[in-house]
């Protein structure tokens, strides 16, 4: 397998996607923010003095997805058709953040979903750090991608993972 972001001499390059067909593509990424139970309760009950942490984080995640090509050097700017950020309280000390990004383009949208979930999780940290500097942002990963030449990928640890180890369906 060759790395497509390097030419034969090892120089960095942006991959030419001009010959690829435009297709619908979706990527889902997630992250976990661990914190003290009291911090999670403040976030869940919207009692932090900075306001509604999750709504600010949702907007930050969407904005992060839109800025991905400005942050990751070899990413193509993409005309995103949708970015959604969702939150799930897991137990008494864990917040799961999920980002879903969609595009109709010649290249995938994985980096936009990963950037969105990262920025959203970091925003949760920023908004709540005054009450809990020990929070951790963990397990940032691509959970699923659909579309393009390689088809579907589902992370092996995902509850939606297909039975075959190749992750395709």
| pLDDT, tens digit (0-9, with 9 covering 90-100), for 65-83 | 999 999 998 889 999 999 9
Which residues are tagged catalytic? 126
Confidence of residue 166 (pLDDT cuts 50, 70, 90): very low
Section 10-20 average pLDDT: 68
CA of 133: how far to CAs of 29, 90, 129, 147, 159, in Å? 25, 20, 5, 39, 31
Dihedral sign from CA coordinates of 44, 45, 48, 50: positive
Asked whether the whole model's pTM tops 0.75, one would answer yes
- For 130-157, the pLDDT digits (tens) are 999 999 999 999 999 999 888 889 999 8
pLDDT in tens, 117-129: 999 999 999 999 9
Please enumerate in sequence order all residues whose Cβ is within 8 A of that of 8, keeping only pairs 6 or more positions apart, or say none.
Answer: none
């Amino acid at each position: 397998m060759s790395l497509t972001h390097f030419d034969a001499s090892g120089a960095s390059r942006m991959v030419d996607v001009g010959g690829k067909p435009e297709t619908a593509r979706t990527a889902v990424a997630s992250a976990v923010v661990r914190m003290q139970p009291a911090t999670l309760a403040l976030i869940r009950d919207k009692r932090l003095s900075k306001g509604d942490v999750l709504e600010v984080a949702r907007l930050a995640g969407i904005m992060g997805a839109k800025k991905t090509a400005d942050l990751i050097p070899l990413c193509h700017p993409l005309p995103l058709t949708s970015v959604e950020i969702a939150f799930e309280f897991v137990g008494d000390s864990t917040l799961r953040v999920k980002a879903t990004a969609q595009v109709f383009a010649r290249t995938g949208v994985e980096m936009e979903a990963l950037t969105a979930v990262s920025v959203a999780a970091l925003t949760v940290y920023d908004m709540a750090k005054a009450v809990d500097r020990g929070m951790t942002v963990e397990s940032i990963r691509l959970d699923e991608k659909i579309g393009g030449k390689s088809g579907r990928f589902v992370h092996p640890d995902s509850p939606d993972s297909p039975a075959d180890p190749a992750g395709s369906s």
